[in-house]
């Protein structure tokens, strides 16, 4: 079975986002299944090589990336449709709306959709009118390198490199509305904690959302509590997870929420909301109310103040929970989708 995998997200700005990580990891892991899959990678979404099936690991709602029809079987991964669930916060503009029209038409001719959660499946059915029986939720997983580490030399080096405070809470992610960064910043002020924020968008001064974050930090008077690292590589990210007292993801909505599992795999406590897909994967996380900065702050404080015994117990439960999500499962389930599509057609 010859599979053509579109790796264009690795060659664009998506490389330093979750979509790029998913694409890169999927390509890497599929190579291990040569007895089942002959894999060819390509970079131009509109000029795929000959294959039994083409997999597009990213679906852009507001950019026309898919051809309306194809003579070859196609599988598309849709990570979320949050802009359609909350259109007020994600205006598409006229060009975006037209592109969405063509993308939706193209999607009708796609043989199967992979998504990251049951919640996303329901959203895709509701907002894109795609047949439920063709949608396959496959949970993502942290990479196998995400683990609890005791290499003090590495931890110290990373802490020095990024000038990390001795004690801090951690946010890993983007700056979109659904991430709820404003209330996270307010909670950091209430809790009087240092907040380390990891993500390329958080230092992109051209983004309106980042400019608004800058203004809010100044308004709240918490500049001394905030450290923004920008994008960091996987090895360093694992070290930062290990150094953090807890990881916080108080999102209004998520299509998955991978930082929750990455933190847990490192034995780091998690405070998150239970909105969108988070209710499916949160496990032993402490749940906060995303609309209430005081509640977020209270959950952060209670998590940081756990006794040593309670922390060790939570760390063990968190690691066990994260261990149930593996890339072996991701790839195995993905290949099942490939086989199902090619068998039918």
The confidence score (pLDDT) of residue 66 equals: 84
Q: Average per-residue pLDDT in the chain?
A: 94
pLDDT value at 156 more than 90: yes
User: Residues 109-118: pLDDT tens digits?
Assistant: 999 999 999 9
User: Residues 302-314: pLDDT tens digits?
Assistant: 999 999 999 999 9
In CATH terms, are 2-141+326-344 and 152-323 the same topology?
A: yes
Per CATH, the homologous superfamily of domain 152-323 is Glycogen Phosphorylase B; (3.40.50.2000)
Helix count and strand count (H, E) for the chain: 13, 12
Helix (H) or strand (E) holding 198: strand 195-198
The confidence score (pLDDT) of residue 56 equals: 94
Contact 244, 269 (CB under 8 A): no
Contact 55, 5 (CB under 8 A): yes
Residue entry with tokens 């796609």 = 110
User: What sign results for the dihedral spanned by CA atoms 90, 91, 96, 100?
Assistant: positive
pLDDT value at 345 more than 90: no
Rounded to 10 degrees, what is the CA torsion of 130, 135, 137, 140?
Answer: -80
Confidence of residue 13 (pLDDT cuts 50, 70, 90): low
Give the C-alpha distances (Å, rounded to integers) separating 105 from 60, 101, 131, 273: 13, 6, 13, 34
Rounded to an integer, the average pLDDT of 7-33 is: 82
| Spans of all domains in the chain | 2-141+326-344, 152-323
Fold of 2-141+326-344: Rossmann fold (3.40.50)
Distance CA 6, CA 3 (A): 10
Rounded to an integer, the average pLDDT of 202-212 is: 92
Cα 102 → chain centroid: 26
The confidence score (pLDDT) of residue 99 equals: 86
Span of 10-24, 89-103, 189-203 with lowest mean pLDDT: 10-24
pLDDT value at 44 more than 90: no
């Amino acid at each position: 079975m010859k599979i053509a995998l579109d790796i264009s997200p690795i060659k664009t700005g998506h490389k330093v986002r979750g979509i790029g990580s998913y694409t890169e990891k999927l390509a890497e892991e599929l190579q291990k299944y040569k007895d089942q899959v002959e894999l060819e990678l390509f970079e131009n979404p509109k000029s795929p090589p000959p294959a039994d099936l083409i997999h597009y690991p990213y679906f852009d709602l507001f950019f026309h990336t898919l051809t309306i029809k194809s003579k070859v079987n196609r599988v598309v991964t849709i990570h979320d449709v949050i802009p359609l669930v909350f259109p007020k916060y994600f205006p598409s503009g006229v060009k975006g709306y037209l592109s969405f029209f063509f993308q939706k038409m193209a999607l009708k001719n796609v043989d199967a959709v992979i998504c990251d959660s049951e919640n996303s499946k329901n959203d895709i059915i509701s907002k894109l009118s795609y047949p439920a029986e063709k949608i396959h939720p496959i949970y993502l997983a942290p990479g196998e390198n995400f683990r609890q580490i005791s290499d003090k030399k590495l931890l110290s080096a990373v802490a020095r490199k990024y000038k990390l405070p001795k004690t801090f809470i951690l946010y890993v992610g983007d700056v979109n509305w659904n991430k709820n960064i404003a209330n996270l910043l307010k909670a950091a002020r209430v809790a009087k904690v240092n907040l380390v924020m990891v993500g390329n968008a958080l230092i992109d001064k051209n983004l309106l959302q980042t400019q608004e974050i800058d203004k809010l930090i100044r308004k709240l008077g918490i500049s001394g509590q905030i450290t923004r690292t920008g994008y960091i590589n996987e090895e360093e990210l694992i070290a930062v997870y290990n150094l953090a007292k807890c990881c916080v993801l108080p999102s209004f909505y998520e299509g998955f929420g991978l930082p929750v599992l990455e933190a847990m795999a490192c034995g780091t406590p998690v405070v998150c909301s239970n909105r969108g897909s988070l209710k499916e994967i949160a496990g032993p996380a402490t749940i906060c109310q995303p609309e209430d900065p005081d509640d977020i702050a209270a959950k952060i404080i209670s998590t940081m103040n756990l006794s040593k015994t309670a922390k060790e117990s939570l760390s063990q439960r968190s690691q066990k929970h994260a261990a149930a999500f593996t890339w072996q499962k991701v790839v195995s389930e993905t290949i099942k989708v490939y086989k199902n599509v090619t068998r039918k057609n």
